[in-house]
Chains A and B, each alone.
Chain A
Amino acid sequence: MSSDSLKKRKSKVLRSEGGTPEMKRGRGDGDPQDLRVYSEEVELDGRDPEQDFLQYKESCESLATLMSEIQDLKASGAKEGCAEIEQRRMQSCIHFMNLKKLNRLAHMRLKRGRDQTHEAKQRVDVLHLQLQNLLYEVMHLQKEISKCLEFKSKHEEIDLVSEEEFYQEAPQEICRPQLTKNDPHQLTLARLDWELEQRKRLAEKYKESLTTKEKIQKTIEVKKEHLRSLQPGLNNIMQASLPVQEYLSMPFEQTQKQTEIARHLPPPLYVLFVQANAYGQACGEQNGSVSILDRNLCISISGDVDEAKALSKPPEDSQDDESDSDAEEEQEKTKRRRPTTCGQLDDKRREMLKRHPLSLCLDLNCKDGSFLHLYFYYLMNLNIITVKTKVSTTIDINMAISAGELLKSDTLLSCLYTNDQGRETPNPANRYQFDKVGIVTFADYVEELGHPYMWVQNLGGLQFPSDVSEGVRVGSSLSASHMERTMKLLRGRVQSRLALHKQFASLEHSIIPVSSECQHLFPAKIISRLARWTTITHQEYMDLPYTRHVTGAGLAKETDLYFMAVVERGTARLQAAVVLSPRYPEISPLFSLSLSWKGERSGRTDDNLRAMESEVNVFKNELQGPRPGHQLLTNQLARLCVCLDVYLETEGHDDSVEGPREFPREKMCLRTVRGPNRLKPFKYNHPQGFFSHR
């Protein structure tokens, strides 16, 4: 530390010594030698540093020897200031001066060296900067070159005509073959020129076409205007022709209006409408006339058209819907005030069972002036069609009591096709909907809504696969394929019901009507008489002891109608329980017999009564009469009377009993008994008039 501080002090001293004394000296030196410019620096140039170094060494050595001589002298006891010492001190001072000079020179040399290196370094820096600039420039230029190389001209995208074509078609001034043949650049330019030329021409053409188009459009407009001006005139003519149409019974106007309304029908009813219309027209043409009066089928649409319109355009009045829903909410609020959840459920049910506002009415003419009116409704939320029926006749139909069931809407169309009772909904998806709102069965609503028969769905083009809940499809082909058959079945059903109706009226008066065509089936004299014809219930029928085999065989269904006929002759009384299928006469009535005469006998125990049963039940084909067999039931009853006659007259006479037979034999029989079960001859042979066995 002490040494460091010493050195610092030394250096400071040295600088001050080096700076100021030099300048002093320089001034001091210079002042006397103004003319001779002295500069240590110049001196410096002329000196060799090696030499200086040697001089320095010499000085130091001689200084050291002088010091040691002084020490020796001092030691030997020489006095201060003796000549020898003084001399030697003088000499050492000279040496010190020399050393000082050498030091100064070394400093100056160092400074100069430093300056020189600095200068050189600056030069190098400048040069380096230059190099950098140049390199950058090179790089940039390279980039530019590659950019140029990669440049794509627009003309490459243009689909030019091929070269040959170009030389063929382009005029000389454009193609300039002498110039372009060898220079591909010129060739491309020429080709582009040609392209431009061509395009210009085409653009012109396009403009021309546009103007012609405009012209044509204008003419079209004019013509349209003209046609539009015809409309009122035509309307007037139509209006004027209405009475004529009516007079000629050609309902053009009416059908037009109807189709207009029909557009708002829901799809299934529309399919039904179109198909029924088509079928009706086809039938009308077959009959040779299209007049409305004797058309077999008449279709009309009833209901609120505006409401239907609103329904059929749901997107337009979505806002209205919202307001509606608001209103509904309000309603609901008011309802909520009434604390009945039952009422809500009721409303939901009503909503679910809602009908489409439009309904279809089909009037089916059943030949003898009676009409079957079918009213088709579409239940929107259940996606099924229901039907209600009404029969109108020209004659009075309220005379037969037992016929009450016959024309009821409930039973009239039951089982039109096998097992189609129309009590349950045919759409399997409805089951889940019903579960939600707590409807147990659709049958509870049938009275109000109509019957959803399977055939109705088919007519509307709706088909429900038996187990899958999806897959409802609407098809007019489905409807068309069912239309004719169903219409025939409907007509047949009504005719048979009307025929039955008439027959029942006379049966209740104990008259069995036998038409002239069927007269040959029975002998002229029939003594047994129908005493009673009444309707009975299914339960009453099941309770009868002699019908057990019928119920056992599953032939007495709930949908069937049941009747009791009583045939009497003398003391004998024959009861016949009749099952009448709704599909009569396709499915024939089934008789079960019980005879009370000398005890009770029934078809189950007495072979002959069983034979009588099969005579009416099995050999019914002979009894059908003229097609389609509407007289089957009455003929069966008539045959039953004949058979009872035979039965009673051929009954073996007990010789031990005195007195005449109760029933004298009047019928002509070849044999009274035959076969191991001793059957009586129940078969009547027409022209000969005798009875034989089967």
Chain B
Amino acid sequence: MSQNPLRWAIRHISSSLFYVFPLCIVRVYTSLIRLFPLHLGQFCVFVFSRMGPVELLHMSVFSQSFSPCGRFLAAGNNYGEIAIFSLSAALSPDATNLSQKPVLLFTAHEGPIFSLLSTDCHLLSAGNGEISAWSWTELIKKNAKPLWTRRPNYKSSLEIPEINSMIINPRDNSLVVGGGDNNIHIMDLEHGAFKSVLHGHSDYIHCITVREREGEILSGGEDGAVRIWDSRTGQSVHCIEVYKYEDCARPQYGKWISCVTTDSDWMLCGGGPSLSLWHLRSLSPTSVFPLTGCQRQAAFYQDMILAVGEGPFVSHCLLGGEVKAEIPCTPQSLNTLQLNTNSTEHRVLTVGGSSDHIDVFTNLSYRAFSLSF
């Protein structure tokens, strides 16, 4: 009797009510089912949802990642959803409106997905303080089931810290994770264990990048510092406080650094301060780009720099410091920019921001079309 309280309760109640009215019993049963939702709730792990028009209106795309084969694009939004788009379908000559819609849309995390990353065969997504891995082959088969979910060892906090950036350090096959708790967590991808924590930033970390040859990790944070870490010792080697350089500083915006990227001896960083190109050996800014608004992501591309941020355009800058072009896009402000280098036939630039649209550039000089959630 005590082993199955539900059945006991039903029998007890229904026997006492049998003489009243059969309908009452039905009501009692349904209310009991409501009281014990355990048996019903187990089925709905992932709900494939379609958003209403208001939700679409307030959607932001924060992160993107191309599949290893280069034929698919994963994009994460502020509702914790990941959409998989088929680039081969969208770029084919007989593409329709439907091929610009995701082939798979699933809710991966509770909070917004600020970072997505592809390894050889996995898609890593960072949600509210947790990292999930998904198999690309399964995703392409429209099968959304996480392979694993890990959580860095956060010190207890009222609010779960977000993960703003992830990068793979190929030197020791580890995942470098930076986010809301001001620390960089390094996870061993082979064992799945968090092996070290890098302390140093005084505010949360916006962005992380890795200098593979030198074995260095660079991180930019809300505190306005770009820190350079030795990945082997876990020590902070240098700390550049960009906002203290007069050329770069923009006190009206703030001091945070929201994008860092490197190419051999050169580093690109921006945010509150202007986007600027730094020579790492001398640790000095060589050129400052006169872009309005705060930049969220930047990338080296051939002899050019592509940058996105506030404002509905992709900025093309020359290394010397001139802004060459500003190519208009659909979203009013942009969060993410990604170049597909995995596949030569689908070599495109995609940008996402404060909209449910992801703009696709087949040629860098104009927007070809938009993928949409």
Distance A604 CA – B312 CA, assembled complex (angstroms): 10
Docked-complex contact A550 and B57, CB < 8 angstroms: yes
Docked-complex contact A670 and B159, CB < 8 angstroms: yes
**Is A148 an interface position by the 8 A CB rule?**
no
Docked-complex contact B310 and A605, CB < 8 angstroms: yes
**Is A143 an interface position by the 8 A CB rule?**
no
Among B3-11, B250-258, B317-325, the stretch in contact with A: B250-258
Give chain B residues whose Cβ lies under 8 Å from the Cβ of A674. 162, 180, 204
Given A610-B354, A674-B180, decide whether A549 and B159 contact each other with a Cβ distance below 8 A: no
Distance A439 CA – B251 CA, assembled complex (angstroms): 67
Distance A652 CA – B255 CA, assembled complex (angstroms): 10
Give chain B residues whose Cβ lies under 8 Å from the Cβ of A656. 251
Docked-complex contact B53 and A555, CB < 8 angstroms: yes
A contact face: mostly helix, strand, loop, or mixed: loop
How far apart are A162's CB and chain B's nearest CB, in angstroms? 61
**Is A117 an interface position by the 8 A CB rule?**
no
Docked-complex contact B53 and A549, CB < 8 angstroms: no
**Is A673 an interface position by the 8 A CB rule?**
yes
Docked-complex contact B256 and A555, CB < 8 angstroms: no
Given A555-B57, A671-B159, decide whether A655 and B335 contact each other with a Cβ distance below 8 A: no
> Which residue among A652, A654, A677 has the maximum number of chain B CB atoms within 10 Å of its CB?
A677
**Is A692 an interface position by the 8 A CB rule?**
yes
Docked-complex contact A676 and B206, CB < 8 angstroms: yes
Bitwise, B151-164 to A at CB < 8 A (1) or not (0) is 00000001100101
How far apart are A149's CB and chain B's nearest CB, in angstroms? 82
Docked-complex contact B354 and A553, CB < 8 angstroms: no
How far apart are B340's CB and chain A's nearest CB, in angstroms? 21
How far apart are A19's CB and chain B's nearest CB, in angstroms? 139
Give chain A residues whose Cβ lies under 8 Å from the Cβ of B111. 694
Docked-complex contact B254 and A553, CB < 8 angstroms: no
**Is B58 an interface position by the 8 A CB rule?**
yes
**Is B216 an interface position by the 8 A CB rule?**
no
Distance A693 CA – B56 CA, assembled complex (angstroms): 20
**Is A471 an interface position by the 8 A CB rule?**
no
Give chain A residues whose Cβ lies under 8 Å from the Cβ of B296. 676-677
Distance A588 CA – B54 CA, assembled complex (angstroms): 10
Docked-complex contact A692 and B158, CB < 8 angstroms: yes
Within 8 A of B (CB), among A664-687: 670-671, 673-678
Give chain A residues whose Cβ lies under 8 Å from the Cβ of B112. 675, 694
Q: In the complex, what residue of chain A is closest to B310 when comparing beta carbons?
A: A605
Pick the contact of A553: B57, B114, B180, B332 (CB < 8 A).
Answer: B57
How far apart are A609's CB and chain B's nearest CB, in angstroms? 11
Docked-complex contact B335 and A676, CB < 8 angstroms: yes
How far apart are B104's CB and chain A's nearest CB, in angstroms? 23
**Is B370 an interface position by the 8 A CB rule?**
no
How far apart are A597's CB and chain B's nearest CB, in angstroms? 14
Distance A677 CA – B159 CA, assembled complex (angstroms): 18
**Is A649 an interface position by the 8 A CB rule?**
no
**Is B373 an interface position by the 8 A CB rule?**
no
**Is B359 an interface position by the 8 A CB rule?**
no
**Is A613 an interface position by the 8 A CB rule?**
yes
**Is B338 an interface position by the 8 A CB rule?**
no
Give chain B residues whose Cβ lies under 8 Å from the Cβ of A673. 204, 222, 256
**Is A617 an interface position by the 8 A CB rule?**
yes
**Is B333 an interface position by the 8 A CB rule?**
yes
Pick the contact of A618: B55, B204, B258, B310 (CB < 8 A).
Answer: B55
**Is A484 an interface position by the 8 A CB rule?**
no
Bitwise, A596-617 to B at CB < 8 A (1) or not (0) is 0000000011010010011001
Docked-complex contact B254 and A549, CB < 8 angstroms: no
> In the complex, how many residue pairs between chain A and chain B have their CB atoms under 8 Å apart?
75
Docked-complex contact A590 and B54, CB < 8 angstroms: yes
Within 8 A of B (CB), among A260-282: none
Give chain A residues whose Cβ lies under 8 Å from the Cβ of B332. 604-605
Distance A550 CA – B54 CA, assembled complex (angstroms): 9
> Which residue among B57, B162, B252 has the maximum number of chain A CB atoms within 10 Å of its CB?
B57
**Is B62 an interface position by the 8 A CB rule?**
yes
**Is A171 an interface position by the 8 A CB rule?**
no
Q: In the complex, what residue of chain B is closest to A683 when comparing beta carbons?
A: B159
Give chain B residues whose Cβ lies under 8 Å from the Cβ of A590. 54
Distance A692 CA – B55 CA, assembled complex (angstroms): 21
Within 8 A of A (CB), among B50-105: 53-58, 60, 62
How far apart are A613's CB and chain B's nearest CB, in angstroms? 6
Bitwise, A493-537 to B at CB < 8 A (1) or not (0) is 000000000000000000000000000000000000000000000
Docked-complex contact B57 and A617, CB < 8 angstroms: yes
Docked-complex contact B58 and A618, CB < 8 angstroms: yes
Distance A676 CA – B256 CA, assembled complex (angstroms): 10
> Which residue among A554, A676, A678 has the maximum number of chain B CB atoms within 10 Å of its CB?
A676
Give chain A residues whose Cβ lies under 8 Å from the Cβ of B354. 604, 607, 610, 677
Q: In the complex, what residue of chain A is closest to B296 when comparing beta carbons?
A: A676
Give chain B residues whose Cβ lies under 8 Å from the Cβ of A610. 58, 60, 354
Given A605-B333, A610-B354, A676-B206, decide whether A670 and B158 contact each other with a Cβ distance below 8 A: yes
Q: In the complex, what residue of chain A is closest to B297 when comparing beta carbons?
A: A676
Within 8 A of B (CB), among A580-600: 588, 590
Bitwise, B313-351 to A at CB < 8 A (1) or not (0) is 000000000000000000011010000000000000000
Docked-complex contact A654 and B252, CB < 8 angstroms: yes
Given A607-B354, A613-B58, decide whether A553 and B53 contact each other with a Cβ distance below 8 A: yes
Distance A677 CA – B259 CA, assembled complex (angstroms): 12
Within 8 A of A (CB), among B4-58: 53-58
Within 8 A of B (CB), among A605-635: 605, 607, 610, 613-614, 617-618
Give chain B residues whose Cβ lies under 8 Å from the Cβ of A671. 159, 180, 204
Distance A604 CA – B296 CA, assembled complex (angstroms): 17
Distance A617 CA – B254 CA, assembled complex (angstroms): 29
Q: In the complex, what residue of chain B is closest to A653 when comparing beta carbons?
A: B254
Bitwise, B192-207 to A at CB < 8 A (1) or not (0) is 0000000000001011
Give chain B residues whose Cβ lies under 8 Å from the Cβ of A652. 254
Docked-complex contact B164 and A675, CB < 8 angstroms: yes
Distance A612 CA – B53 CA, assembled complex (angstroms): 17
Docked-complex contact B57 and A549, CB < 8 angstroms: yes
Give chain A residues whose Cβ lies under 8 Å from the Cβ of B56. 553
How far apart are A587's CB and chain B's nearest CB, in angstroms? 9
> Which residue among B54, B164, B332 has the maximum number of chain A CB atoms within 10 Å of its CB?
B54
Docked-complex contact B57 and A676, CB < 8 angstroms: no
Distance A566 CA – B207 CA, assembled complex (angstroms): 38
Docked-complex contact A675 and B310, CB < 8 angstroms: no
Distance A527 CA – B53 CA, assembled complex (angstroms): 32
Within 8 A of A (CB), among B110-149: 111-112, 114
Give chain A residues whose Cβ lies under 8 Å from the Cβ of B310. 605
Distance A455 CA – B200 CA, assembled complex (angstroms): 67
Within 8 A of B (CB), among A41-79: none
Give chain B residues whose Cβ lies under 8 Å from the Cβ of A607. 60, 333, 354
Q: In the complex, what residue of chain B is closest to A673 when comparing beta carbons?
A: B222
Distance A7 CA – B354 CA, assembled complex (angstroms): 155
Distance A554 CA – B54 CA, assembled complex (angstroms): 10
Q: In the complex, what residue of chain B is closest to A615 when comparing beta carbons?
A: B58
Distance A654 CA – B159 CA, assembled complex (angstroms): 27
Docked-complex contact A614 and B53, CB < 8 angstroms: no
Distance A678 CA – B111 CA, assembled complex (angstroms): 15
Docked-complex contact A554 and B57, CB < 8 angstroms: no
Given A618-B55, A675-B114, A692-B159, decide whether A654 and B333 contact each other with a Cβ distance below 8 A: no
Interchain residue pairs with CB less than 8 A apart (13): A555-B57, A604-B354, A605-B333, A607-B60, A610-B60, A613-B58, A617-B58, A654-B251, A656-B251, A674-B180, A675-B164, A676-B62, A678-B258
Known: A674-B204, A676-B296, A677-B333. 13 other contacts (CB 8 A): A555-B57, A605-B310, A607-B333, A617-B58, A618-B55, A671-B159, A674-B162, A675-B62, A676-B207, A676-B258, A678-B222, A693-B162, A694-B111
Task: Please list the residues of chain A having a beta carbon within 8 angstroms of any beta carbon in chain B.
Answer: 549-550, 553-555, 588, 590, 604-605, 607, 610, 613-614, 617-618, 652, 654-656, 670-671, 673-678, 690, 692-694
Q: Which 10 residue pairs of A and B lie closest in terms of their CB atoms, listed nearest first? A: A614-B58, A604-B332, A670-B159, A652-B254, A656-B251, A618-B58, A692-B159, A617-B54, A553-B57, A670-B158
